[in-house]
Structure 1
């Protein structure tokens, strides 16, 4: 930390340069200080000529000349020239320390500073637009942001995404997506180095390839177990599709008599009345294009909650239309035939998971909201400060990551049954049915599926933990919103908020995001409207993403457990199958390595835990208090979940707040 002294001084100015690529500057910087009496200091140069100032990620301090009878500093004005080889400069914040009373004034900046442009920043620098003392600077910066943060649709019917990644959003994480390098490193240190081509001979051959740095995934021990297959619906990477079944589906060839042997002897009507029958239906997968026209099932499965509170599969039909070549498979079918039916079901589940649950809902949808937020809410807007930590990485991560995941000929084309074309179509289908007030609001989503009541489907670990986090986020959001919008008029008069909300709901053909279920169609009127939207966004970027993302290696890395791709054709009768048939259906060694590599990368956590922000956006006292309360509550939840996991089988660790990042990191 630099320390430049100009003689007798009552104030020290700390300048914190941002910790990002190219943030440091060689330019000359000057500042003016303003006090609460209206006094203004002379121009003060902030330079030490014997050292490098304003280096990336560094803090410089300057003891400014004493100013007679100067009061509390509540505002600064600063600027830079264009001198030096690298004049660009990203400032995190200024802090002014008053040695007379041991008090600090905070001036968050969080922006690139243009040459010869004067910036006026107030203490804490948080205001609604109607309260801003410097509306011209605010409008100018927003106009500039709207030119930078512009939309495009990368595929017909898809979500709105960034037209061009702004320089300000770029960071060097390309190495994470160098899949060729990743595979080479794995081959050099793992058991995989001698088994990179050809097909698997036995399941033991596959089991034996795991070891540091690719440990045995959880799925390796449970893939054939019906209890674990049921557990995947409530604690796997896709825990949002199971529904309460209130009647047998018309297009499934089952009857109460057929099912009774799997219901512990109970009549079906009593099981339905007791809310112990559940269903997963993948009708949405019908008629999807696939790689090389490979078969894809669109199955229906029934699950039964036993007297021991265990969820078990009792019937799987692999296609929607009943027919002689589309039997319903049951647990008493030949063991490997039943296992094959479960694998084809999970193959369908995996396509839904990657396209909708993961990429659609927690990657692409938040990206469009991030663009709207950055284009419509000023940096000093309290709602920008609330949402920014959770939207911070979406644009750079998706810009590079989506190319490596779903670019033509990339990972999805190589290892997923539906490939890129089918993936994009499925994302479109999923987003077209998404509503902020249903799928985007956890309690409503659970209620819509009939599983909100904790007495229904006990041991639904995702629901247990996610509801704790959702409640904590809701409480945090309410404290922030109630502080800044203490009367309804402030909501109505907030032009930035209203324009942002209108853009969320406006149809895509008219330049909006086309989101359904935005309260009051984006014309916000109440605190409840705002709580619904902000809670949805924070939850989606943190909790929902963690639930769908961090279990991927555990689920996908052992293909029999959760196959991204299956060779051959689905079974069309009950002919007994063998282990050889199971092995023949697996992806080859090269594709298995591709699956392991990418899911290992995706399952890594690269940013701070929820509530612990990399960048401090909020400085207002009430907002900081809400943040601290949020962190305290999350710590309690973490302890609760760890205690629960002592008696859970299997453990569900993915929503421990310490394991849930604020946002994506890759």
Structure 2
């Protein structure tokens, strides 16, 4: 996995990169208060849910989306919507040919497709999409409080219908096709279909939290931070450009390792994947990490998502990418020519640090080994700033919104994936969900991870005045104006949406990974 800072506690960090006094005290206060508040208000003598109504009676300060998701979480429409605009818009990709291990036939799904059409025709049109959780294959579930937990490695096929709705049309819960691994369909009993979707949502929990959130924003941001502090002197223009975007990252990651990833942390004590499974998944995810997957325009093209409708993450994200690229190009081109880039040994050392400690010298990652042109440098710095600001906002800020209603985002399943159809009931589904104690622990963690601190700085507003030259200051002011214009566009669009997408609104994007 990417290398981490050799410091065990925040007190071992230099003051320049530690939390402000305000943020540190706020964080500690929120951690204690949220946990106590949830436990005291929701005392439950048996620790077992007796009905869905008990879940609805959870007493706490729920987010604005809570009532909407509680009402819609079982619908196929909302299930599909989350792959585009939920807390993890990164798994879905266009499917032009079914994987060999997912033998969906036209007869299975024809009722979900338009008349006179077929699965083959819809794939040719670009209307069929796939989410494949193969990285979870073979990971054995955790044991929590003496009780075996379970997870699946599903394949989920989706159809973008003529009305612009993305709907699930087939789910296989294990990677190997066999008689005891049925393909679940919307035409099955409502309880069979719901249970299959719950296992997909649990797989989403693991991929989202560990791969797309922890690895691809937090841990990469830590590598970017360390490389910047080690390789670039404070007078270097790239240091001045990047310093606001590494603010607080080391401390939040140290705290996350203690609270979430340790033997006593959330993943060990409340999640099906457990500590051993978490390490396995993250090693697999690191091995599959590519430069192009971190560059949004390339990533959208690779996943074939240029034309799928109502993909607000893509729409807002590409606009943000272009605004960042324009800003970075303006600053970098002021200081560098292609020859300057090639001859800047500190810059090349900075890149080497990132390649070695973040991508582990993986030749298949596509990460550049050296910079030769201003254009290459601008793209790389754009990727870095986008990753630690916009991308982190996209996968972090909606965690509580989509996870506060626990059945929509279960951290564990207490029953194994079904091997036959016709066995699921309302009672068996309730029994498979996380119990009361671990539901409250997860709610507390999600609440903490989604809470802005009082010293939050919106994207593009920097507390440190590191540049003094007229050109970079002018570029910075134009950057803020461009972000403000995008903010207006997003808010105008959101007025017409039933569920507004606001995670990439610049005012909700932090400069760095600080939560």
SS across alignment from 2:99 = coil
Partner of 2:57: 208
Residues 297-331 of structure 1, C-alpha deviation per residue, up to 9 Å, x if partnerless? Answer: 11101000111010000000000111111101111
Instruction: Check if 1:281 corresponds to 2:132.
Output: yes
Considering fraction of residues, name the structure with more helix: 2
- 1:309–1:262 distance in 2 versus 1, CA, 3 Å: same
Deviation at 1:614, TM superposition (A): 2.7
Instruction: Check if 1:242 corresponds to 2:92.
Output: yes
Paired residues for 1:346-385 under 5 Å: 346-385=201-240
Paired residues for 1:439-518 under 5 Å: 439-451=293-305, 453=306, 456-485=307-336, 487-506=337-356, 514=361
Deviation at 1:513, TM superposition (A): 5.1
- 1:547–1:655: 8 Å Cα contact kept in structure 2? yes
Deviation at 1:365, TM superposition (A): 1.1
Q: Distance in 1 between matches of 2:201 and 2:278?
A: 16
Q: Distance in 2 between matches of 1:516 and 1:550?
A: 33
Partner of 1:163: 6
Partner of 1:407: 262
Deviation at 1:627, TM superposition (A): 0.9
Instruction: Check if 1:663 corresponds to 2:512.
Output: yes
Deviation at 1:258, TM superposition (A): 2.1
- 1:543–1:461 distance in 2 versus 1, CA, 3 Å: same
Deviation at 1:518, TM superposition (A): 7.9
Report which structure shows greater RCO (CA 8 Å, sep ≥6).
2
Partner of 1:392: 247
Q: Distance in 2 between matches of 1:390 and 1:254?
A: 45
Q: Distance in 2 between matches of 1:418 and 1:359?
A: 15
- 1:516–1:442 distance in 2 versus 1, CA, 3 Å: farther
Q: Distance in 1 between matches of 2:38 and 2:44?
A: 12
Paired residues for 1:604-619 under 5 Å: 604-606=451-453, 607-619=456-468
Residues 333-388 of structure 1, C-alpha deviation per residue, up to 9 Å, x if partnerless? Answer: 11111111000011011111111001000101110111011000010111011111
Larger Rg: 1
In structure 2, list runs of 5 or more residues that go unmatched. none
Partner of 2:107: 257
Deviation at 1:566, TM superposition (A): 1.2
Instruction: Check if 1:603 corresponds to 2:450.
Output: yes
Deviation at 1:262, TM superposition (A): 1.1
Deviation at 1:175, TM superposition (A): 5.9
Deviation at 1:521, TM superposition (A): 3.4
Partner of 1:19: none
Deviation at 1:582, TM superposition (A): 1.9
Match of 1:220 among 49, 70, 83: 70
Q: Distance in 2 between matches of 1:651 and 1:180?
A: 31
In structure 1, list runs of 5 or more residues that go unmatched. 1-157
- 1:283–1:320: 8 Å Cα contact kept in structure 2? yes
- 1:298–1:319: 8 Å Cα contact kept in structure 2? yes
Residues 32-54 of structure 1, C-alpha deviation per residue, up to 9 Å, x if partnerless? Answer: xxxxxxxxxxxxxxxxxxxxxxx
Q: Distance in 2 between matches of 1:204 and 1:580?
A: 13
Partner of 2:438: 591
- 2:39–2:440: 8 Å Cα contact kept in structure 1? no
Instruction: Check if 1:185 corresponds to 2:37.
Output: yes
Q: Distance in 1 between matches of 2:140 and 2:251?
A: 29
Deviation at 1:180, TM superposition (A): 5.0
Paired residues for 1:48-447 under 5 Å: 158-164=1-7, 165-168=12-15, 169-171=17-19, 172=21, 173=24, 176=27, 179-188=31-40, 191-192=41-42, 194-195=43-44, 197-212=46-61, 217=66, 218-265=68-115, 266-292=117-143, 294-436=149-291, 438-447=292-301
Match of 1:563 among 392, 395, 410: 410
- 1:368–1:513: 8 Å Cα contact kept in structure 2? no
Q: Number of residue pairs matched?
A: 498
Q: Distance in 2 between matches of 1:431 and 1:174?
A: 34
SS across alignment from 1:395 = helix
- 1:315–1:331: 8 Å Cα contact kept in structure 2? yes
Partner of 1:71: none
- 2:108–2:185: 8 Å Cα contact kept in structure 1? no
Deviation at 1:580, TM superposition (A): 1.6
- 1:296–1:535 distance in 2 versus 1, CA, 3 Å: same
SS across alignment from 1:648 = coil
- 1:577–1:471 distance in 2 versus 1, CA, 3 Å: same
Q: Distance in 2 between matches of 1:484 and 1:160?
A: 31
- 2:133–2:154: 8 Å Cα contact kept in structure 1? yes
Considering fraction of residues, name the structure with more strand: 1
- 1:337–1:577: 8 Å Cα contact kept in structure 2? yes
